[in-house]
């Protein structure tokens, strides 16, 4: 690749080249940050021009002089001039960062096939039949395939992620239910073992609120131990978890806080019934038990 007549070590896999129609960047919501947009005046016999995105400008022109510079993939004389810088915009759902992108006017190098982007305020699915009819009137032999709305494209692009999220939600809910059942059983067993102690406390004047506090305190101690071990394990597995997340950090304080609050709420709910049972213990019967 040549930049301002100087060859640099790179290849076409480090950036992408898109040939677009004038006005395409405005349709996809990519505003011009510097310079100008491509126009219909950039025709085949006019000097070669290009618009690059922020990622391209920052990578190959760190000094900030991208507009007005020239680059090319062939000989130094067969290059194009950068006339504008556009904001980074994704053409399809991706986990990766925005790649360096070059936008060339399609009139200066007509491709074999084209992708049209149409922006409308109405329901986009209603425009498909009129579009097919318009294409048929221009050329009945011209195929028109893979017509998708932006929402459909996003859903298809994140199909695997959506499936994984649903599976994670299901198994997470099952794990939460099992934790609730296990905690309920554990606290019920603990209350049964402490029947004499609870009866003695109530015989000595302990109130029902004191008994509830005793049971809930034991529950919260177990939850605290689980929270500490769980957060430690989550932070230790950060690298593995990061590969499964999209625009979410595994150590997000809000996510961790939400998980802790959820666990505490579930634990308190699971321990509420044993706590109520403990308040109904008859001190006389409890003291007679072996």
Q: Is the sign of the CA dihedral 152, 157, 160, 165 positive or negative?
A: negative
pLDDT tens across 194-206, in order?
A: 767 777 777 777 7
Q: Does 174 lie in the same domain as 66? A: no
- For residues 143 and 165, membership in a common domain is answered with no
| Rounded Cα gap, residues 269 and 98, in angstroms | 46
- pLDDT tens digit sequence for 110-123: 666 667 777 777 78
Burial class (CB in 10 A: 0-12, 13-18, 19+), 278: buried
pLDDT at 273: 76
pLDDT at residue 5, as a whole number: 52
113 with 204, same domain? no
Q: Are residues 146 and 180 in the same domain?
A: no
- Domain total for the chain? 3
Same domain, 139 and 178: no
15 and 26 within one domain: yes
Contact 46, 108 (CB under 8 A): yes
Q: Does residue 150 share a domain with residue 89?
A: no
What's the domain range around 267? 158-288
The tens-digit pLDDT sequence of the chain (290 residues) is: 556 555 555 555 577 777 777 777 777 778 888 888 888 778 777 788 888 888 888 888 887 778 888 877 665 555 788 888 888 876 555 556 677 888 888 777 666 666 777 777 778 778 888 888 888 888 777 777 777 777 777 677 677 777 887 888 888 888 878 877 887 777 777 777 776 777 777 777 778 788 778 878 887 888 888 888 888 887 777 767 666 666 667 677 887 888 788 778 877 777 777 777 777 766 666 556 55
Domain boundary among 117, 140, 172: 117
Question: What distance in Å separates the CA atoms of residue 168 and residue 165, rounded to the nearest whole number?
Answer: 5
List, in order, residues 6 or more apart from 183 with CB less than 8 Å away. Answer: 219, 222, 266, 267, 270, 271
Residue 148: its pLDDT value, please?
77
| Predicted local confidence at residue 250, as pLDDT | 67
Examine the domain organization and report whether 152 and 232 are in the same domain: no
Do 30 and 136 lie in one domain? The reply is no
Q: What confidence tens digit (pLDDT) does each residue in 19-61 have?
A: 777 777 777 778 888 888 888 778 777 788 888 888 888 888 8
Cα separation, 158 vs 197, in Å, equals: 56
> Are residues 149 and 250 part of one domain?
no
Same domain membership, residue 222 and residue 171: yes
Do both 112 and 9 map to the same domain?
Answer: yes
């Amino acid at each position: 690749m040549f930049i301002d007549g100087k060859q640099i070590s790179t290849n076409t896999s480090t950036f992408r080249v898109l040939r677009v129609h004038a006005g395409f960047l405005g349709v996809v919501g990519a505003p011009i940050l510097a310079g100008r947009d491509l126009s219909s005046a950039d025709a085949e016999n006019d000097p070669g021009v290009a618009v690059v995105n922020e990622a391209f400008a920052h990578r190959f022109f760190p000094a900030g002089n991208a507009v007005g510079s020239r680059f090319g993939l062939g000989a130094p004389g067969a290059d194009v001039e950068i006339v504008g810088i556009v904001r980074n915009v994704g053409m399809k759902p991706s986990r990766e960062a925005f790649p360096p992108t070059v936008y060339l006017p399609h009139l200066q190098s007509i491709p074999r096939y084209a992708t049209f982007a149409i922006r409308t305020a109405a329901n986009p699915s209603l425009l498909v039949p009129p579009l097919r009819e318009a294409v048929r009137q221009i050329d009945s032999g011209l195929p028109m395939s893979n017509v998708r709305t932006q929402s459909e494209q996003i859903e298809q692009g994140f199909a695997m992620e959506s499936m994984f999220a649903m599976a994670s939600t299901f198994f997470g809910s099952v794990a939460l239910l099992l934790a609730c059942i296990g905690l309920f059983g554990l606290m019920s067993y603990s209350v049964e073992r402490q029947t004499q102690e609870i009866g003695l406390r109530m015989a000595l004047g302990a109130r029902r609120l004191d008994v509830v506090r005793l049971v809930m305190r034991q529950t919260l101690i177990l939850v605290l131990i689980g929270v500490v071990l769980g957060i430690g394990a989550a932070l230790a597995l950060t690298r593995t978890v990061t590969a499964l997340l999209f625009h979410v950090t595994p150590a997000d304080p809000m996510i961790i806080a939400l998980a802790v609050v959820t666990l505490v709420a579930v634990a308190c709910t699971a321990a509420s019934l044993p706590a109520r049972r403990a308040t109904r213990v008859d001190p006389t019967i409890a003291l007679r038990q072996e």
